[in-house]
Chain A
Amino acid sequence: MTKTIQEINEKIKKGQAVVVTAEEMIEIVRKKGEKQAAKEVDVVTTGTFGPMCSSGAYINIGHAKPKIKLGGGEVYINGVEVYAGFAAVDIYIGASSLPPDDPRNKIYPGEFRYGGGHVIEELVAGKDLVLTATAYGTDCYPRKELRTLINIRDLNEAVLFNPRNCYQNYNVAVNLSDRIIYTYMGTLKPKLGNANYCSAGQLSPLLNDPYYKTIGIGTRIFLGGGTGYIAWWGTQHNPGVERSENGVPLSPAGTLAVIGDLKQMKPEWLRGTSMLGYGVTLTVGIGIPIPVLSEEIAYYTSVKDEEIYTQIVDYSKPYPQGISESLGQVNYAQLRSGKIRISNKEVPTGSLSSYVKAREIANILKEWIKQGKFLLTEPVAKLPQAESDYKFKPLKIREV
């Protein structure tokens, strides 16, 4: 029993496609088996909503009279530094950028209440933002200073372009030391006071297509409340890690670079995020449809939390020192239960990724497809595969 994306799209156009979420697929496969499920179900929708630091948006603000060349100058939006190393009026707002006068961690732990992630959220929300810039001036771009309100509706282009999102599995972070630590995985209390994780588990896109058989470059996705596309594999893509028998990686593996028109996205799915003692980031909502082309795909999309394992990592010493060391592995059913056991101690768990919102995204995408508003795409190229030599390398510091 095999189907093609074209056949599925024909059914979507006629309003006849059977679309279920990755959560619902678990039950269907359990009751009916993969063979029957592959016959009955056309698309499985997935979702994830978590902090993804390698995110940002590029915008083109249009030319002022007289003109200014922002490239090579300094530009701020609501006081947050944005990248201007392009042509005259293209700038990139990085999610983790901060205002120059933010105290950072000088007052420890820093609160990081406003930065690039918040600028993006407010831009999408349609708010007026203050752009200030200084430039060196040229014969063709004589203006040297600019101070203006900008609004997303007036921008020529506003494009979300995230170099790394959607991690396929992630570490569980703990702290074995005797002092509290503040990390990108949240505040970690001393001596195994808590264990924080960050994945939507059984709803997470790449955990439902562990070998990237349907998800590839060009795949149309739910991105930030609108539609977007997979632009490339994400930075630090690492498909060759050890996997369970079901194909699911046992540690962080694949990643995605995604792109989409910011003008049709929604602020509730792109949230400015403050991590105490760490910095600012953007919480991004992503949903990916998986066409059930075969029994094999039906099997992969029926993966459940109990079958997805990940590693417990101590963020007090080995992680910051770049030493790869696991304290053991747990599955997402254990993590979602609220407590896990580590060296005979019961440790409460906290999550960075929102399961509630992941479920909501999978349901929104399901509705879009059922209503014929969202068609599936054939990937134009594959992501680097598990059996390829592609891997995530550390930096070897060389003498200058």
Chain B
Amino acid sequence: MTESKVVLHFPPHLVDKPLIYKLSRDFDLEFNILKASVTPQEEGILVLELKGDDDNFQHAIAYLKENGVDVQALTQDINLNYELCIHCGLCVPICPVSALVKDGETDEVKFVKEKCIACELCGKVCPYNAIEVSLNA
């Protein structure tokens, strides 16, 4: 079983193709859309959480690449800029997956990247612009 978060970049000519439907029908993958920005005639970006059999997963990724989709693992998308963060903790109860937590000893806010699902809720509420969101995985 493989479970992974991926960032898909669609060139404009692929935006109207039902590629994600294929992931589910032909490769039996479960998908959860974390972010979608798809506009006709423009490059589309889709952040997905994919889950399925190891072989199917590999084949699905190969299929996407063959069709001209740029596939990257979701890693660096959200970052906490500790230069700007004041460790208030306003973001902590907003994060739905506890990727932002307060250290019980130091009271500092810690960002646990492995848990982050890139929903960007924290970026909206941070009063100091300390959450950096980039789609360049």
Which residues of A does B touch, CB under 8 Å? 49-51, 111, 113, 186-187, 189, 193-196, 271, 273-276, 281, 283, 336, 338, 348-357, 359
Contact = CB atoms under 8 A, between A and B. Distances in A.
Nearest to A112: B127
Given A113-B129, A271-B128, A356-B108, A196 B90 contact: yes
B36 to A, nearest CB: 20
B115 to A, nearest CB: 15
A194 B95 CA distance: 11
A273 B102 contact: no
Given A283-B128, A352-B90, A355-B107, 7 more contacts: A111-B124, A186-B125, A349-B93, A352-B88, A356-B86, A356-B87, A356-B107
Contacts of A276: 124-125, 127
Contacts of B118: none
Nearest to B101: A338
Contact of B94 (A113, A350, A351): A350
A283 B86 contact: yes
Interface in B61-111: 86-94, 102, 104, 106-108
B128 A273 contact: yes
Nearest to B88: A354
B92 A273 contact: no
Nearest to B94: A187
Nearest to A194: B93
Contacts of B108: 356
Sorted nearest first, the 9 A-B pairs with minimum C-beta distance are A194-B93, A348-B93, A356-B87, A350-B93, A273-B127, A354-B86, A351-B89, A354-B88, A355-B107
B86 A51 contact: no
A49 B107 CA distance: 14
Contacts of B106: 356
Contact of A186 (B90, B102, B107): B90
Contact of A353 (B88, B91, B92, B128): B88
Contacts of A348: 92-93
A184 to B, nearest CB: 10
B92 to A, nearest CB: 5
Contacts of A193: 93
A43 B114 CA distance: 45
B89 to A, nearest CB: 5
Contacts of B107: 336, 355-356, 359
Contact of A355 (B87, B93, B128, B129): B87
Interface string B1-31: 0000000000000000000000000000000
Nearest to B83: A268
Contacts of A274: 127-129
B124 to A, nearest CB: 6
A338 B86 contact: no
Contacts of B93: 189, 193-196, 348-350
A53 B34 CA distance: 35
Given A189-B93, A338-B92, A348-B92, A357 B86 contact: yes
B109 to A, nearest CB: 8
Contacts of B104: 338
B2 to A, nearest CB: 32
A196 B89 CA distance: 9
B127 A283 contact: yes
A357 B90 contact: no
Nearest to B125: A187
Contact of B86 (A187, A195, A271): A271
